[in-house]
Amino acid sequence: MSGRYGKYLVTGGAGYVGSVVAAHLLEAGHEVTVLDNLSTGFREGVPAGAEFIEGDIRDAAKWLDPSYDAVLHFAAFSQVGESVVQPEKYWENNVGGTMALIAAMRSAGVRKLVFSSTAATYGEPEEVPIRESAPTAPTNPYGASKLAVDHMITGECAAHGLAAVSLRYFNVAGAYGQFGERHDPESHLIPLVLQVAQGRREAISVFGDDYPTPDGTCVRDYIHVADLAEAHLLAVTAAKTGEHLICNLGNGNGFSVREVIETVRQVTGHPVPEVMAPRRGGDPAVLVASADNAREQLGWNPSRADLAGIVADAWAFAQRSSGAGE
Ligand SMILES: NC(=O)c1ccc[n+]([C@@H]2O[C@H](COP(=O)([O-])OP(=O)(O)OC[C@H]3O[C@@H](n4cnc5c(N)ncnc54)[C@H](O)[C@@H]3O)[C@@H](O)[C@H]2O)c1
Ligand SMILES: O=c1ccn([C@@H]2O[C@H](COP(=O)(O)OP(=O)(O)O[C@H]3O[C@H](CO)[C@H](O)[C@H](O)[C@H]3O)[C@@H](O)[C@H]2O)c(=O)[nH]1
């Protein structure tokens, strides 16, 4: 690395989280190459100033060279429901793709990796808040594929001296200026509720109100995507040769589905009709992170924990993307 600036390969940098992290790296003065096959991402999601390679992580050896200081690896499929009906797609892309990427890194002598892992590696928690020492028992192939990659990385660190950090995100939300959440089809709660507030959907379906939680709906830990991005920059610095550090990223506050819907009503000032629907398969009742490890090991200090603020940023992005208010 020359001086304090680095050169980074960001896989999946045309997607939601990767684009926000790429923007943060560029703002910090680093050089960024985005590698993305646009399977679920968008060309316009790649921040200006980043070099863009439209390509697949399975071909990473074509582009990786020793000039890179690290790889930040976001490229994956991440729809829980789809993973249940098409598990092979998840093993092939998330596990097979990452195997090829790690092999390419080894050949090119790029020895630092930050990986997007997930709360889905834990499954139904025995204790909340969830620590990294909790048992890992994923309830769907998506979570299983991410856990397999975490194991793959641990082995690569031990055997071949990789320096790696896996960041286990809880519920990522919010937006960062022009970069926000755009999944197609959308399955995440906050963007769906915002579509109802915009009048683009009739009502939000509440998946179950008979969970053992205060109002009967599922409780999640919503983390602002910009706080998440800051953790990635810290992780690049914290990664140590031969070690695999695993950190949960969340605020440690749980909000129920009903609380999220009510917050959207307050932030947007629009009505949000809700309809009851059956439980969604594989949904744990409560997922809340203990991020003590990220605070201690990375020096991470999230500053955007307020749910109304997270929703307001997501709302500004939703309005901008749909052309409302222009
Ligand atoms: N969004 C969340 O709430 C959340 C939570 C936990 C973990 N994660 C993880 O964070 C990462 C980013 O998630 P996101 O929400 O930004 O998803 P996203 O779908 O918006 O972004 C993923 C990007 O990876 C690209 N991609 C997929 N397979 C590829 C391949 N083989 N080669 C090259 N590019 C490929 C896609 O085109 C897309 O741009 C994923 O690894 C996901 O599993 C996300
Ligand atoms: O229309 C909807 C959509 C969602 N929900 C509920 O809202 C909560 C949040 O659901 P999301 O789909 O927004 O998020 P998940 O908690 O299912 O998933 C998140 O956490 C997972 C870990 O468990 C993965 O990491 C995944 O990528 C990440 O988005 C869940 O209780 C879900 O049942 C509804 O009630 N109605």
pLDDT in tens, 52-66: 999 999 999 999 999
Q: With a 6 A CB cut-off, is 191 part of the ligand 1 pocket?
A: no
Q: How far is the CA of 73 from the centre of ligand 1 (A)?
A: 9
Model pLDDT, residue 281: 82
- Tokens representing 323 are 């052309």
Tell me how far the alpha carbon of residue 21 is from its chain's centroid.
10
Cα 145 to averaged position of ligand 1 atoms, centre (Å): 13
For residue range 247-256, list pLDDT tens digits in order.
999 999 999 9
Residue 115 backbone zone (phi > 0: left; psi -120 to 50: alpha; other: beta): beta
Q: Residues with beta carbon inside 6 Å of ligand 2?
A: 78, 80, 118-120, 171, 187-189, 192, 204-207, 218, 220, 257, 280, 283, 287
Q: Sorting pLDDT into bands at 50, 70 and 90, what band is 40?
A: very high
230: pLDDT confidence band, cut at 50, 70 and 90? very high
Cβ atoms 145, 91 nearer than 8 A? yes
Q: What are the CA-CA distances from residue 128 to residues 118, 123, 303 (Å)? A: 16, 12, 22
- Helix or strand run (H / E) with residue 145: helix 141-160
Q: Residues 304-318: pLDDT tens digits?
A: 999 999 999 999 999
pTM exceeds 0.95 for this model? yes
Give the C-alpha separation, 321 to 19, whole Å.
15
Name which of 28, 29, 35 is nearest 10 in CA terms: 35
Q: How far is the CA of 99 from the centre of ligand 2 (A)?
A: 28
Distance CA 253, CA 231 (A): 18
Name the residue with tokens 């990796």.
113
Residues 6+ apart with CB under 8 A from 32: 7, 8, 10, 13, 22, 25, 26, 47, 49, 50, 51
For the chain, list the strands marked E by DSSP: 7-11, 31-36, 51-54, 70-73, 112-118, 163-169, 171-173, 204-207, 219-220, 222-224, 244-249, 255-256, 274-277, 286-287
- ipTM, two decimals: 0.97
Is any atom of ligand 1 closer than 6 Å to the C-beta of 78?
yes
- Cα–Cα dist 18/188, whole Å: 17
Cβ-based neighbour number of residue 266 at 10 Å: 11
